[in-house]
């Protein structure tokens, strides 16, 4: 019950954060019309189309689908919403496919009914009965009509696919044309002259919006609405100020008492704080606008301003809280980033500046679109924020690169947050890319490419927000997996108790779950990064499906674009392989029961396989298809097959050793004349360390095709056996007691089976005593044998007894690493 008490709020908070992050980020990505199409509107259109063409409702007719497709313009203008039109085209194509599937099923049913009537009578044969002929004619006519609709539906589907492809091409061309368009530079006189000439008309348009807003405020301050309006303003102010402060204090006090003492506290606190602050700020803005606007028929411009302001406020709250959660300037022990207190203090103001500037820039673009501002006003707005945002980002990069002063660690610093002494390669790459983007934005702005400068500035901030959000979600995913599914987690302990799962399997499950979820986060991060360019998940999937066309047989064309694509594939592929191999070696395999040697072999093998796949994809990007590569490989395989036969045999033997595990690292084996400890099991060969510390490399096929003696596979016991001759006049019973006492007194000799001393016989006037004892491990037999011999000799000397030559000793399964004499030892005797 204690576990269930915090599992429910934990899951709700995680889901809430994902929903809030998606809505805020995608909403902000599609807010500016100059840089991106309005994504929320497209989403609503797609949802409406899907709802209208759902599986429960009957599909529209082919004539209606054709009219809807013809109504979509062939050429995309600047005023058209590309995403909305693309969603409409996709909905038409889906509906046409449903109509085709339905008509295909109806045709199959009609064909069965016609077959039931029998074959049509041939010319000159007796005609059908009147009712059969009438039914056959009706079914044939109905089949012809349905077959016509089927062909039209398939044609509409093909036309919709072609129109969608053409629309995507036009959108990309329009976007590139907007970026490459050049206006007057802010350093030129023409820029300010255009702005001055357009100022009167722009001022009049803004004055109209201001009058609408002031009229709404005056209406809200009427006597019958004044009290409710002022109360709503105070409630909204309390939500923004006191609500966010109280929510954070409650989370700080609540989470440590309901969550285990793991890293999950930090990441979950950050997630819950972001979700709570965004919801509170957005709710406060909604309260203000609901109290300000009349419920009956508000002005359209104010409705648009309401949506824009709520979206900008939610985005600003998201970015500010995200930066506050990652830096944790006042609570170093809750900090997610590996930063010192001085670094966190220097970077703390920048989330505020970036969030406010980005939100203000987005709101300004929306206001320009609402009032229909002039082109000069839009260019000036773009230029202003394309200058302010890069300047802020440049200052942030300067402070981020400054080394922190050598100050003593904070008393409240957590040991789980080590300071970043060496900057990771990926972080250095991101900072360098941000610096280049800032420099390029400033240069483009000064040269007059205002749209390009604005896009670079916006994308720099957008990429930073996306990476920071994914970093937080990745930490939350990892902490959730460890806290729930690992052997020490809540769910993991229940699985171990209820189902009897081994702890290592639970740790392995936690690592795998974390890896899978991180891959999903990486996929949606790519979608989020491409969202401002007008690319959605459906278009991304369509782009990925085009790789199949590149793998077909065709003429080889070495184009610059294909070369760049191949290089990018190689770089990204080998980086992904390296990250995957590091994850396997450092995270996954340590939680499994595989030996280090075999883990390294599997990692190397997967690296080779991944390298082959990456190279094949890169060659496909160049136009060299897989079929050509297969022909070359098949031709070479005939010549080199015999040379690789031994390698393949050893490789298959290594896989058999991995599966059956007859030999493991640490086993003591004997293979022919080779005897020693197994130190490493590779894909091709196995390393055996001998008693003189030398290493023998044995091919894996030797372990499969020959007899192998494994002394320690099932915990085999070692045997110490001594053959002791004594004169015929010796007191045999006293001799037996002394030898048995020496065996029983040694700590390494097992009680079960108990040691035994037998009189093997009388040879040449000599009594032959055979003493046998058992030790737990064969490696300890040599030392035990030596100690027992010393004890026996001392006991015989004290009793006045003696041995007759030759006296021998025998140790079964002796180790070549032992310090004692070899198995056939020299005679042991004592002079009379």
H or E element that contains 40: helix 39-52
φ/ψ region of 765 (left if φ > 0, alpha if ψ in -120 to 50, else beta) reads left
Answer whether residue 716 shows pLDDT above 70. Answer: no
The mean pLDDT value of the chain amounts to 75
Answer whether residue 666 shows pLDDT above 50. Answer: yes
Report which listed range, 340-349, 501-510, 560-569, is most confident. 340-349
Question: Of the given ranges (112-116, 309-313, 811-815), which has the lowest mean pLDDT?
Answer: 811-815
Confidence of residue 531 (pLDDT cuts 50, 70, 90): low
Beta bridge partners of 11: none
Confidence of residue 178 (pLDDT cuts 50, 70, 90): low
- CA 101 – CA 112 distance, rounded (Å): 17
How do residues 51-100 score in pLDDT, each as one tens digit? 344 444 567 888 888 888 888 888 777 666 666 777 788 888 888 888 88
DSSP state of 261: S
Answer whether residue 578 shows pLDDT above 70. Answer: yes
Confidence of residue 318 (pLDDT cuts 50, 70, 90): very high
Average of pLDDT values for 316-338? 85
Bond preceding residue 806 cis, omega within 30 of 0: yes
- CA 471 – CA 325 distance, rounded (Å): 12
**Is the CB of residue 315 less than 8 Å from the CB of residue 355?**
yes
The reported pTM is 0.60
How do residues 336-356 score in pLDDT, each as one tens digit? 887 888 888 888 899 999 999
Q: Where are the beta strands (DSSP E) in 41-85?
A: none
Exposed / middle / buried, residue 308 (Cβ in 10 Å: 0-12, 13-18, 19+): buried
How do residues 628-649 score in pLDDT, each as one tens digit? 666 666 655 655 555 566 777 7
Answer whether residue 155 shows pLDDT above 50. Answer: yes
The confidence score (pLDDT) of residue 558 equals 60
How do residues 15-50 score in pLDDT, each as one tens digit? 444 444 444 444 444 444 333 333 333 333 333 344
């Amino acid at each position: 019950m204690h576990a269930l008490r915090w599992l429910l709020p934990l899951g709700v908070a995680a889901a809430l954060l994902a929903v809030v992050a998606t809505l805020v980020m995608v909403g902000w990505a599609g807010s500016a019309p100059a840089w991106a199409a309005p994504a929320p509107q497209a989403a609503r259109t797609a949802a409406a189309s899907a709802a209208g063409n759902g599986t429960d409702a009957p599909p529209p007719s082919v004539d209606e689908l054709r009219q809807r497709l013809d109504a979509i313009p062939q050429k995309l203008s600047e005023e058209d919403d590309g995403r909305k039109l693309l969603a409409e085209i996709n909905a038409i194509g889906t509906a046409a496919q449903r109509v085709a599937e339905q008509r295909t099923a109806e045709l199959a049913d009609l064909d069965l009914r016609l077959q039931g009537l029998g074959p049509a009578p041939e010319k000159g044969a007796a005609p059908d009965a009147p009712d059969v002929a009438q039914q056959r004619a009706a079914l044939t006519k109905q089949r012809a009509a349905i077959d016509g609709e089927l062909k039209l539906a398939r044609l509409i589907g093909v036309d919709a696919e072609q129109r969608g492809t053409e629309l995507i091409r036009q959108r990309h061309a329009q976007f590139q044309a907007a970026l490459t368009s050049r206006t007057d530079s802010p350093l030129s006189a023409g820029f300010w002259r255009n702005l001055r000439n357009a100022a009167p008309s722009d001022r009049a348009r803004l004055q109209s919006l201001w009058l609408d807003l002031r009229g709404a405020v005056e209406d809200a301050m009427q006597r019958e609405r004044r009290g409710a309006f002022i109360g709503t303003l105070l409630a909204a102010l309390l939500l923004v100020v006191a609500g966010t402060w109280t929510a954070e204090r409650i989370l700080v006090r609540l989470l440590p008492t309901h969550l285990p003492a793991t890293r999950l506290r930090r990441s979950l606190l950050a997630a819950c704080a972001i979700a709570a602050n965004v919801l509170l700020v957005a709710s406060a803005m909604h309260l203000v606008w609901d109290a300000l606007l009349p419920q009956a028929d508000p002005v359209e411009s104010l409705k648009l301003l309401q949506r824009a302001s709520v979206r900008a406020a939610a985005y600003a709250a998201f970015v500010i809280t995200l930066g506050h959660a990652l830096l944790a300037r006042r609570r170093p022990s809750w900090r997610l980033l590996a930063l010192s207190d001085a670094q966190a203090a220097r970077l703390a103001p920048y989330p505020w500046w970036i969030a406010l500037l980005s939100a203000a820039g987005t709101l300004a673009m929306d206001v320009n679109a609402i009032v229909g501002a002039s082109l000069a006003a839009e260019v000036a707005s773009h230029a202003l924020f394309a200058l302010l945002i890069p300047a802020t980002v440049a200052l942030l990069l300067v402070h981020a690169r400054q080394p922190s002063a050598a100050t003593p660690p904070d008393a409240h610093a957590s040991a789980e947050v080590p300071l970043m002494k060496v900057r990771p390669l990926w972080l250095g790459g991101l900072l360098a890319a941000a610096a280049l983007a800032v420099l390029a934005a400033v240069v483009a702005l000064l040269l007059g490419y205002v749209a390009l400068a604005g896009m670079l500035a916006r994308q720099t901030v957008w990429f930073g927000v996306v990476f920071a959000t994914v970093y937080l979600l990745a930490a939350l995913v990892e902490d959730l997996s460890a806290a729930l599914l690992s052997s020490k987690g809540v769910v993991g302990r229940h699985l171990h108790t209820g189902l009897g799962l081994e702890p290592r399997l639970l740790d392995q499950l936690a690592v795998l779950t974390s890896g899978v979820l991180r891959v999903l986060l990486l996929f949606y991060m790519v979608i989020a990064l491409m969202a401002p360019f007008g690319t959605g998940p459906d278009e991304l999937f369509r782009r990925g499906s085009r790789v199949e066309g590149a793998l077909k047989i065709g003429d080889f064309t070495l184009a610059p674009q294909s070369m760049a694509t191949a290089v990018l594939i190689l770089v990204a592929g080998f980086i992904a392989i390296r990250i995957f191999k590091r994850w396997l070696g450092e995270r996954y395999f340590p939680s499994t029961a595989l030996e280090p040697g075999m883990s390294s072999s599997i990692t190397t093998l997967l690296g080779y396989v991944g390298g082959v796949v990456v190279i094949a994809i890169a060659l496909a990007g160049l136009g060299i298809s897989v079929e050509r590569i297969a022909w070359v490989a098949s031709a070479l395989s005939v010549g080199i097959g015999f040379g690789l036969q031994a390698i393949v045999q050893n490789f298959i033997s290594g896989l058999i050793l991995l599966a059956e595990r007859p030999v493991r690292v640490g086993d003591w084996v004997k293979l022919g004349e080779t005897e020693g400890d197994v130190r490493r099991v590779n894909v091709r060969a196995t390393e055996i360390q001998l008693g003189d510390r030398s290493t023998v490399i044995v091919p894996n096929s030797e372990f499969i095709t020959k007899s192998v003696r494994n002394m320690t596979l099932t915990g085999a016991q070692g045997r110490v056996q001594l053959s002791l001759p004594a004169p015929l006049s010796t007191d045999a019973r006293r001799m037996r007691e002394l030898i048995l006492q020496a065996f029983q007194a040694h700590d390494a000799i097992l009680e079960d089976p108990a040691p035994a001393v037998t009189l093997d016989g009388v040879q040449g006037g000599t009594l032959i005593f055979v003493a046998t004892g058992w030790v737990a491990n064969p490696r300890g037999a040599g030392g035990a044998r030596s100690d027992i011999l010393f004890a026996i000799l001392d006991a015989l000397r004290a009793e006045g007894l003696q041995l007759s030559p030759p006296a021998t000793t025998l140790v079964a399964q002796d180790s070549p690493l032992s310090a004692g004499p070899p198995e056939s030892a020299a005679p042991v005797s004592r002079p009379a």
